[in-house]
Amino acid sequence: MNLISQLAKDRKFDVICVGTALIDHLSIADLSTVAELGLAAGTMTLIDDETATRARATLGAAKLVSGGTVANTAAGIASFTGRPAFVGAVARDEFGERYAHDLRSAGVHPMLTEITDGDGRSATGACYVMVTPDQERTMATHLGVSGQLRVEHLSKDLLADCAVCYFDGYLLDFPGADEIVQSLIASAKTHGTALALGLADPFVVDRHREALIGLLPDISLLFSNHDEILSLGECGDIYKAAERFRHQDMAVVVTRSELGAVVIWEEGMVQIDAVPVEQVVDVTGAGDLFASGMLYGCVREGDYRIGAELGALAASEVISHLGARPEHSLLELARGAGILS
């Protein structure tokens, strides 16, 4: 904890986030539409060109916003006035240009690789986000060129400039994921940078359980929700699951929706309540924004409790409107709540 905070004083970025650059197509849909598209409600499914075309036709007009899980986290960190960067791949098209513009507008430093061709998938990635009447979201992701990020696009000294590098399980869906992750681990060890990992989705855990478990010895912060940690631990108790994998240099963060969150580490445990909202509109991005508060609190404040409180506050802001990035200054909200001065 203290080491992460000390590193932040001397480095250009608080957090470098590595992940999927996507344009979110946000729409309101019912569960029958989700079923018609062959999707599992409340989860993320990777889709092909044909399904993406069907999704566009079925959903019709949509609200377009820049997204991607860890990029949303980067935007949240910036809203706290942190110093984040985002590493990802976009196409040389109008959506790629928009994506870079939106990162800069949010206060995130873009480290984007432009990819112009490859296997016929030359478009910037898209995620079709369907918000159903239960306020849950179902995501159908067409990776496009975002999944073509490769280790050769990353500098060996990438992590010399940050206190923490954050990525999540969706990165493991990339064809070149193993090389990318091993490069990040090597760079982190060289530069004394902390690594944070998000489990992302129960289906991601099912697809990549052994790979995720293999990464944990090198991870300082593990982010999960209730279902993800149970899936990883293959048991019915979040505390037992967390203890199964936690080591002396890692804290496990488990978000529990309206039940708040718990942070477990070698020397203790913190439980915090969820921040109530007047109306839950869309839970898209709740976990992403919780991670932004937690990361900011660890880097800037050196404190797990403050991080968890900031995470709960950020999650409450994002679920009160449509879209996965904050619409109000998280720093001002944190000051108003008395968490930050």
- pLDDT of 162 higher than 90: yes
For residue 1, what pLDDT is reported? 52
- Per DSSP bridges, beta strands 125-131 and 13-18 are unpaired
Give the amino acid at 74.
A
- pLDDT of 5 higher than 90: no
Q: How much of the chain, in percent, has pLDDT values that exceed 70? A: 97
For residue 266, what pLDDT is reported? 87
Residue 327 dihedral angles phi and psi, to the nearest 5°:
-105, -10
For residue 120, what pLDDT is reported? 45
For residue 3, what pLDDT is reported? 59
Residue 13 near residue 83 (C-beta atoms within 8 A): yes
- pLDDT of 29 higher than 50: yes
Average pLDDT over residues 88-112: 96
SS (H, E, C) 212-261: HHHHHHHCCEEEEEHHHHHHHHCCCCHHHHHHHHCCCCCEEEEECHHHCE
CB atoms within 10 A of CB 166: 28
Q: How much of the chain, in percent, has pLDDT values that exceed 90? A: 84
Average pLDDT over residues 27-34: 94
For residue 116, what pLDDT is reported? 79
pLDDT tens digits, 234-281: 999 999 999 898 888 899 999 999 999 999 998 889 999 999 999 998
pLDDT tens digits, 287-316: 999 999 999 999 999 999 999 999 999 999
State the chain's mean pLDDT as an integer. Answer: 93
Spell out the domains of the chain, with CATH numbers in brackets. 2-21+69-114+150-336 (3.40.1190.20)
For residue 247, what pLDDT is reported? 87
Residues in the chain, total = 341
For residue 214, what pLDDT is reported? 96
For residue 2, what pLDDT is reported? 53
| pLDDT band at 122; cut points 50, 70, 90 | confident
Residue 177 near residue 154 (C-beta atoms within 8 A): no
pLDDT tens digits, 34-74: 999 999 998 889 999 899 999 999 998 888 999 999 999 99
